Structure 1
């Protein structure tokens, strides 16, 4: 019998097709300009997994993917990227999710995330962590888990308290500013490291912040076990109740933004998995994100 390799990390959340339109011009509402439209494997959990694989890790995906032609094509693409897809929930009657965004030279103009199949699937995507395949309540999964906020509020709240996640190194991202408040259950549980940008930090806290150090300090005071707050080209901060680190990312020409936060998070997780110090891991993650936004590696 062929032995299935054990994953280095689980990536739980959205696995879908990204449809991205990019134009080299500044855009505003109603703009109609020439550009390029691409379709790529995407979703927060998948973007993180792809970057982790580039850093030599073996990620396993836990998500919902339809058995429609788009879903079969997506699973095949994921396997070609070195990702483990055997734990995906494959729905017979739900379509594969999609994300659509428009970007100009002045950044993201608009985006729509259609993650309805993931939300409808609910805790079905977590079965491998409950039935003994990867873990259970009696024997919780002991490794790192990257989790995104495309899951429902109820499911995220359950994960924040569930005994099956008690030993996991949970790393959580909100997926988008509109879903930042879904991370509220992780404030005060002492279980998760949160990855947010400055806008998301403000939405999570219910107030505005002027800088990442201010936001990070406030979220830790609110009960976050650990938080990393990015702010575009400005300083990024990594804080927990006992330590605080701040670094400024390298200056680069920004050519794209969709997927930058996912790249930062994945690079940071991979750096810490290799045993780098907090300061070294932050520097490496900022460097990887800078390469990405300047047009380097796809997320």
Structure 2
């Protein structure tokens, strides 16, 4: 069976209304890439799709990829390989724990073989990409030029006419790079904004320029809530409120920070009355496995 038979493509676009979006008098829409698949969701699928379509599937017999202990990419790859009936191995950063967390248990349930390596060894190999000895290596998070090709498709599924701004969370920049390439290909002038979810002034903006040659996006780097995978009481309270108001669950690592940033940009006036705003829900809800104690 084709993996696309398991996926909801294109994903829907839903308009949502909250107290703060109503107060700001904006129209807020969410591109529901979280609904592509319960596990292979959001930009996890988008990046994988670009990579898998780039390589001839008859030239490899196994997929090997990399990630941390709570990696959404790892479990999405494991689920994809189960559907595709391809053996897969996950190279995990750090020592093997006495007990696997929920994400790694899911990886095993989908048939992924887990190999734990030192942080030093991981850092040396985690960007490996390509086919070697009939094994397809996919870098951590699917972050590579081929990964951007799948993210190109996110905005192809949306009618952008009359849209004022598009927002997406950024961890590596791969997703927004693909979206930017789509904008360039269509000469669409809709402003594209990234919310950097990790510390580092100008980190994502610099990578976009140096790695992908992209200069036509705006990156906000002040909404990381303490750093990558870090949270704050303000963030967690916001996610709870947003979920109860809209029925849409955000994750605490990426989309929660993005949506909180959108709220704050409404308050600051960067997003103006009458603006029509699209936020990309990049999935990653398995990120809650490591954060439930903070609720």
TM over 0.5: no
Ranked by relative contact order (alpha carbons within 8 Å, sequence separation 6 or more), the top structure is 2
Query: TM-score, normalization: structure 2?
Result: 0.33
